[in-house]
Chains A and B, each alone.
Chain A
Amino acid sequence: MRVHGLHYSFAQRAIFGGVDLAIARGSVTAIMGPSGTGKTTLLRLITGQLQANRGVVEVEGQDVAGLSRAGIFRMRRRMGMLFQNGALLTDIDVYENVAFPLREHTRLPERLLRHVVLGKLQAVGLRGACRLMPAELSGGMARRVAIARAIVMDPQLLIYDEPFVGLDPISLGVVQRLIRRLNETLGLTSIVVSHEIRQLSAIADSCYLLSGGGVIAQGPPDALATDTREEVRQFMHGLPDGPVPFHYPAPDYVEQLRQLR
């Protein structure tokens, strides 16, 4: 997967001003950056949910912008995506959620479909929860069911949007291990968007750090951790103040207080 010279604006605000990425087949690539830098927007551009103003997004050699709606749907059949909140269908149970893409795209006999679905649920450790409704699941369980659903069509590319948000330490460890293990056992290419540096450092082969509408650093997690540039150091070490200021731009404090009076 390759992104070259990507420009994107929304509501007259420039989100990206020339992003370049190259994601190798079979790797786990982390896309990091402070909140509001457009990480989720980048995923939406990669998956064809949004159209770039300028630049190229190539998936398996195909320019996403040049694909018709049917072409984008064909491309997405080879992709899986995990949304921040899992985005499970709330009116059907766990089993039917995982079976959903199979029922929509294949005519597998019920017996075979059951084998596939239970196999995927077993892989994420939730075979026993197959008859629970999404409302009965914890955040971590919902995320794992969503992973099972994302891999049920055996995709080549798996995209995770903030998979660690709001998870307790145990669930966090489970999801982190699953991402790495699925990547290896299923031979996937994985893109993980997150700002959980410790988790990403443990599973990612390479990282991209986004800020100010572009990529400000890239390389293996260790290299980014020892990068001495101030903006990279602030993010990687969680420093409260730096190039990304603690204070949102505001008029002079005393002046503002006087005005209120």
Chain B
Amino acid sequence: MLSSLTREILQSLRFALEALGAYALFLVRLLKEVPRSLLRFGLVVEQVHNAGALSLVIIMLSGLFVGMVLGLQGFDLLERFGSEESLGSAAALGLLKELGPVVTALLFAGRAGTALASELGLMRATDQLAAMEMMAVDPVRRVVMPRFLGGVLSMPLLAAIFSLIGIYGAQLVGVQLMGVDTGQFWSQMRSTVELGDVMEGVIKSCVFGVACSLIAVYEGYHSVATAEGVGRATTRTVVISSVVVLLLDYLLTAAML
């Protein structure tokens, strides 16, 4: 009984390590293609539009609501200590360092990540990738790389927009609704938030951008060429991305504190 359980755990561990190795090799292959892809930057810009611009509405709306909730909860908490004027600092630090990058990455995985995975999976299922191979065109270079780079470049921009809109949402609730002084709100924020805090968020969103884009293109490119295979690749993209983002968030936070 125990030995079969141990065997299963060891096998799962082996699968996880194999998957990690496969992801690492795929990342190395993609990184080798970066210089060549930058020469055809038009393809990357197209994908920044697909992954970034088309995610703007959901990112802005979510940012606004998260900021508003932060404003409400923050006010409720700070009021208990008589320091509601610190709401601007609390909201800005929370959004720039943590919520902005993390929630953006989770939303990105759900919107752009699934779109990338299913698009590549469908291209595999309908022989479009095989047709490219037969035309002596490397699908990784022509199709996967621009999508990967588009995702990587979009994430920090989306996270920045999320945080800005979130701060506006917190201000809307805290100042306009709950009556926190406008001057106190902004001056506290300016005096507390440092460049290092902003950079922490930027670094996190860049790392999440690489992770989410890599997972999406890997799962889509390696999906089984059936309807079920494409569906599974899409689901795996969301699940793996979400877990990896939260894990990386802890590791990065611990490293940068």
Contacts and interface: CB of A to CB of B under 8 A. Distances in A.
A192 to B, nearest CB: 16
8 tightest Cβ-Cβ pairs between the two chains A and B: A87-B131, A87-B127, A73-B136, A76-B136, A81-B134, A101-B135, A83-B127, A77-B136
B126 A85 contact: yes
B128 interface: yes
B224 to A, nearest CB: 14
Q: Which size class do B's interface residues fall under?
A: 10 to 19
Interface in A66-115: 73-74, 76-77, 79-81, 83-85, 87-90, 100-101, 104-105
Interface string B101-138: 00000000000000000000010001110110111111
A49 B126 contact: no
| Most chain A beta carbons < 10 A, residue from B130, B133, B136 | B136
A79 B137 contact: no
B142 interface: yes
Given A101-B135, A104-B142, 4 more contacts: A47-B134, A49-B130, A76-B133, A104-B135
17 contacts: A49-B130, A49-B133, A73-B136, A76-B136, A81-B131, A84-B127, A87-B131, A88-B128, A88-B131, A90-B122, A90-B126, A90-B128, A100-B135, A101-B135, A104-B135, A104-B136, A149-B135
A47 B127 CA distance: 15
The size bracket of the interface on A is: 20 to 34
Contacts of A80: 134
A79 B134 CA distance: 8
A153 B134 CA distance: 12
Contacts of B142: 104
A120 to B, nearest CB: 14
A77 B137 CA distance: 9
Nearest to B135: A101
B40 to A, nearest CB: 10
Interface string B134-154: 111110001000000000000
Interface of A: 47, 49, 73-74, 76-77, 79-81, 83-85, 87-90, 100-101, 104-105, 149, 153
Contacts of A73: 136, 138
A105 B131 contact: no
Contacts of A76: 133-136
Contacts of A105: 136-137
A49 B136 CA distance: 11
Contacts of B133: 49, 76
Nearest to A77: B136
B130 A83 contact: yes
Contacts of A83: 127, 130-131, 134
